[in-house]
């Protein structure tokens, strides 16, 4: 299988076998990840590696106790980090001006690029990964557990290990739904129904609708999975935490 076929057929892996990830392999993958594009060569990220079972147990509640956190041999927390760069500036008689939202956004983009490059490199070596979106929901607790200083914010988490099984691949919208040529072409209602028809027709998604007592798949997202109330609640936590870490 060539690289494009591997990427085309990739899956999120949440269950891992007992094979450990050696220090040499992990270091190789991190080194490859750190070759990802980065703003101005600043490398505005840090990665906290968690192998210790006790530390995984501490992190688990912050990720809503998803089993993948405690079962994975390695948990990686990718952090937007201006702390190191600011300290270098100050030690070099340079006046940093990075305690602002624009700087945080730059560091967050750098961090996500590194996380995805690690994910791809890991899969090329036969590992499986699972992104945990819960990182931003409970960033204050994660920061406390990992002892993150000012100007360091956890952005995303990957659990990593050798797959115990290969789950069914999750569907994706057709290319037509996402690609716009030259200018953005907005969607008519007919376009939306046509582009989402295949997704809505899948047996698993139909079952999802029925199990949640909803009339449409979209209602499962708006009323159950990602509600307005939850989004507003976690938005306040995230915004307040970013500010408390020094990004105003």
The DSSP-derived string for 86-111 is HHHHHHTT------SHHHHHHHHHHH
Do 11 and 48 fall within a single domain? yes
pTM: predicted TM-score of the whole model, two decimal places:
0.96
In the 8-state DSSP scheme, what is residue 154? E
Write out the E strands in the chain.
45-50, 74-81, 128-132, 152-161
Tokens of 210: 């029925």
Burial of residue 3 (CB within 10 Å: 0-12, 13-18, 19+) is exposed
Do 20 and 55 fall within a single domain? yes
Burial of residue 138 (CB within 10 Å: 0-12, 13-18, 19+) is buried
Evaluate whether residue 236 is within a structural domain. Answer: no
Q: Which domain holds residue 46?
A: 3-167
User: CATH no. for residue 157?
Assistant: 3.40.109.10
pLDDT (tens digit per residue) in 189-234: 999 999 999 999 999 999 999 999 999 999 999 999 999 999 999 9
Bridge partners, residue 131, by sequence = 158
**Secondary structure of residue 156 in the 3-state scheme:** strand
Evaluate whether residue 240 is within a structural domain. Answer: no
Helix (H) or strand (E) holding 139: helix 139-146
pLDDT (tens digit per residue) in 102-117: 999 999 999 999 999 9
Do 146 and 188 fall within a single domain? no
| Lateral strand order in the sheet of 152-161 | 45-50, 74-81, 152-161, 128-132
Do 12 and 62 fall within a single domain? yes
Do 145 and 46 fall within a single domain? yes
Do 115 and 208 fall within a single domain? no
Do 113 and 150 fall within a single domain? yes
pLDDT (tens digit per residue) in 140-172: 999 999 999 999 999 999 999 999 998 989 999
Do 201 and 147 fall within a single domain? no
Place of tokens 């027709």: 201
Do 72 and 53 fall within a single domain? yes
Do 201 and 117 fall within a single domain? no
Cβ atoms within 10 Å of 4's Cβ, excluding its own: 8
pLDDT (tens digit per residue) in 6-26: 899 999 999 999 999 999 999
């Amino acid at each position: 299988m060539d690289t494009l076929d591997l990427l085309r057929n990739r899956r999120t892996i949440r269950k891992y076998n007992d094979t450990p990830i050696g220090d040499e392999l992990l270091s190789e993958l991190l080194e490859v990840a750190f070759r990802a594009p980065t703003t101005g060569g600043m490398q505005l990220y840090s990665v906290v590696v968690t192998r210790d079972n006790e530390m995984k147990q501490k992190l688990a509640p912050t990720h809503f106790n998803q089993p993948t956190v405690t079962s994975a041999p390695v948990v990686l927390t990718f952090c937007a980090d201006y702390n190191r760069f600011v300290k270098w500036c100050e030690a070099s008689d340079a006046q940093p001006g990075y305690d602002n939202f624009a700087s945080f956004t730059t560091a967050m983009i750098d961090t996500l690029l590194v996380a995805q490059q690690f994910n791809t490199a890991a899969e090329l070596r036969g590992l499986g990964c699972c992104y945990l979106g819960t990182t931003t929901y409970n960033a204050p607790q994660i920061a406390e557990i990992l002892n993150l200083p000012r100007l360091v914010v956890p952005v995303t988490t990957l659990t990593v290990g050798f797959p115990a099984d290969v789950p069914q691949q999750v569907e994706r919208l057709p290319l037509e739904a996402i690609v716009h040529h030259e200018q953005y072409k907005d969607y008519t209602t007919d376009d939306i129904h046509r582009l989402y028809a295949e997704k809505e027709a899948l047996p698993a998604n139909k079952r999802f609708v029925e199990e949640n007592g909803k009339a449409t798949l979209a209602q499962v997202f708006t009323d159950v999975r990602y509600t307005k109330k939850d989004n507003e609640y976690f938005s306040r936590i995230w915004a307040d935490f970013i500010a408390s870490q020094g990004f105003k």
